[in-house]
Amino acid sequence: MTLQRDTILHIGFDDTDSLQGSCTTHLATIIIEEIDAQVTFLDYPRLIRNNPNIPWKTRGNGAIGFTIKTPEEEVDQVIVTIKKSIESYYQPDENTNPGLVVVKGNIPEIIKEFSKRALIEVLSIEEAKDIATNHCFDHYFIGNGRGLIGGLAAIGNNLNPRNEDFTYEILTYRIPDNYGTKRRLEEETVYEMDNKLSPEVFNNIDEETNKILICPAGPDPVFYGIRGEEADKLLEASSIVKPKEPLDNYCIFRTNQGTDQHFNYADNQVENFRVFKGIIQITKKPQVLLGGHIILQGKIEHSEKLVDLAAFEPSKGFKKKINKLLPNDRILAYGGIKYKKELKIHTIQLEKCEILTISDHYKESSPYCPKCSKRMTSAGRNKGHKCKKCGFKDSNTQKIKTKIERKIDIELLIPPAQAQRHLVKPHRRYTVKRKERVKFVENWWKKYTNL
Ligand SMILES: [Zn+2]
């Protein structure tokens, strides 16, 4: 008998997807199939969403992390297999710059710190290359190496239940013949699943429009994704939803989606593309722009810096409430920062908003006539009021001040599911108990056979 020494490997990769339709989670599923016989997975594959405001990344900005165990002599072979999978899968494109990072044993602190910054900042490729070179067992990239940033972040942000909230997503994939065609499923089974399992599942249906949200619209291989609190519930959810086309495989990911993790590390620094969280005092009444966007102005408490705040379509109910804010109201704003060169001002694109203080506002009106009780009109500046009906005049009357009824509450506002960014914690999750551990289910991924 020979004793095998096992090695723990942390593997992170990113930027393998393009707008043309490939998908990083799908590549993860392909890699899992390739290496499953050689390795033991110590965690679900992690789908880590990083700063959503980075314009040169695909909208979701998701990277993948694996934590696996493998016999020492298999390590090199496993890494080669993953590199080959990335090379054969990614679609060459100037905006697709895959990166792969491998850490052996303990995760260095510098990578953990880097992963927290990746949630809220714009990080440089140079810094990622430097860390990968000096602190990783191996790294590899194609193109400019941008994928190393997300790769490192997916390793460092390991969603340890001791200090981080996390959720799961089950993703199912289509057979290649169906790519690009309309996704077909029995829609009523999605409502049935949501009714039965909510709040253990979330964001399947938009609460304002009742629209089904689990299927993406694009040419990518994802058939549907269902988000939830525990993996076993997602397997149950998936058994209820009935597709009307054959599927290729599925995989459950552990993720920071729906957790507000970026806001937990955000602050009130104002910098282009950064994630912002801070108290703002409204200085100007909201304006409704063409297309229905809402813009208002405020100043950041402490720094006094003036910023614009924006709420976009299609966050209907959210926007309506934002539109009721008035000067001197105070809010805790959560969002992404965009610098508008033409206007020389930073705009916070609101992802969430807590109304903290509602200020008093008054309207002024002319007093009533003491003789005939008709409302008088102004007799001119500092000339009091006159009555048009009976001719009464009094140069000493003042306007009456009445408090305006503010139809707004002290509350937390979150856009409806279809307008939410991946990382945003929905209302439904505020009542969910914090998970203490990662519960592994047996069939966390599966390839359907005999298709
Ligand atoms: Zn009168």
Ligand 1: distance of its center to the CA of 375 in Å?
8
- At residue 223, what are phi and psi to the nearest 5 degrees? -90, -60
Q: Single out the residue of 422, 60, 12, 336 nearest to residue 218, CA to CA.
A: 60
- Which residues are within 5 Å of ligand 1 (an ion), measured at CB? 369, 371-372, 374, 387, 389-390, 392
Angle at 309 between CA 304 and CA 315, to 5 degrees: 155
For a pLDDT cut of 70, what percent of the chain falls above it?
97
Sign for the pseudo-dihedral over CA of 39, 41, 42, 48: positive
At 276-294, the pLDDT tens digits run: 999 999 999 999 998 889 9
pLDDT at res. 20: 58
Do 262-360+405-424 and 167-259+429-447 fall under one CATH topology?
A: no
What's the mean pLDDT in 114-142?
97
Q: How far is CA 426 from CA 263, 296, 378, 385, in A?
A: 13, 24, 51, 54
Percent of the chain with pLDDT over 90: 83
pLDDT of residue 12: 98
Look up residue 143 and give its two tokens: 């193109």
| Contacts of residue 112, Cβ cutoff 8 Å, sequence gap at least 6 | 156, 157
Distance (angstroms) between ligand 1 centre and the Cα of 372 equals: 4
* pLDDT at residue 71 in the model: 95
Residues 85, 28 contacting (CB under 8 angstroms) = no
Q: Specify the pLDDT at position 331.
A: 98
Which DSSP string do the residues of 86-154 spell out, in sequence order?
HHHHS--BTTB--EEEEEESSPPHHHHHHHHHHHHSPPPHHHHHHHHHHH-SEEEESTT-THHHHHHHH
| 361 Cα: distance to centroid of ligand 1 (angstroms) | 29
Q: How confident is the model at residue 22 (pLDDT cuts 50, 70, 90)?
A: low
> Picking from 133-142, 237-246, 285-294, which range would have the lowest pLDDT averaged per residue?
285-294
Q: What is the DSSP string of 380-397?
A: STTS-EE-TTT--EETT-
The domain spans of the chain are 6-156, 167-259+429-447, 262-360+405-424
Amino acid letter, 407: K
What is the CATH number assigned to the segment(s) 262-360+405-424?
2.40.50.1010
Q: How far apart are CA 355 and CA 280, in angstroms?
A: 10
Is residue 364 exposed (0-12), middle (13-18) or buried (19+ Cβ within 10 Å)? exposed
pLDDT bucket at 2, cuts 50 / 70 / 90:
low
Q: What is the CA radius of gyration of the chain?
A: 27
Amino acid letter, 153: A
How many whole angstroms from 151 Cα to the centroid of ligand 1? 78
**pLDDT exceeds 80 at position 382:** yes
Distance 377 CA to ligand 1 centre (A): 10
For residue 260, give both structure tokens.
């507000």
Q: What is the predicted pLDDT for the residue at 277?
A: 98
pLDDT over 90 (residue 424): yes
Does residue 59 have a pLDDT over 80? no
pLDDT tens figures, 216-230: 988 889 999 999 999
User: Shortest CA distance to 194 belongs to which of 232, 223, 233, 231?
Assistant: 233
Which helix (DSSP H) or strand (DSSP E) does residue 279 occupy? strand 275-288
pTM of the model: 0.93
Distance in Å, CA 38 to ligand 1 centroid:
95
Q: For the segment 94-106, what is each residue's pLDDT rounded down to a tens digit? A: 888 999 999 999 9
Structurally, what CATH architecture does the domain formed by 167-259+429-447 represent?
A: Alpha-Beta Complex (3.90)
Query: Three-state DSSP class for 310?
Result: strand
Residue 190's region, left for phi above 0, alpha for psi from -120 to 50, else beta, is alpha
pLDDT above 60 (res 408): yes
Res. 91 pLDDT band, cuts 50 70 90 = confident
Residue 63 tokens, joined = 């990277």
Distance CA 120, CA 276 (A): 8
Alpha-carbon dihedral angle through residues 237, 241, 245, 246, given to the nearest 10 degrees: 30
Amino acid at 243: P
Q: Considering the chain, what is the average pLDDT of its residues?
A: 93
C-alpha 135, offset from chain centre: 29
Domain 6-156 has CATH 3.30.70.2200: yes
Q: How far is the CA of 394 from the centre of ligand 1 (A)?
A: 11
Which of these, 308, 299, 310, lies nearest to 343 by C-alpha position? 308
* Bigger pLDDT: 313 vs 386: 386
Ligand 1 center from residue 400 Cα (angstroms): 17
Nearest to 49 by CA among 214, 229, 255, 238: 255
Q: Which of 70-74, 179-183, 333-337, 380-384 has the lowest mean pLDDT?
A: 380-384
Residue 401 Cα to ligand 1 middle (Å): 20
Find the mean pLDDT for residues 98-118: 97
Residue with tokens 């290649």: 176
Determine contact, residues 77/68, Cβ cutoff 8 Å: no
How many whole angstroms from 384 Cα to the centroid of ligand 1? 14
Euclidean distance between CA atoms 345 and 55, whole angstroms: 18
What is the whole-number distance in angstroms between the Cα of residue 362 and the centre of ligand 1? Answer: 25
* CA 373–ligand 1 middle distance (angstroms): 6
Calculate how far, in angstroms, residue 386's C-alpha sits from the geometric centre of ligand 1: 8
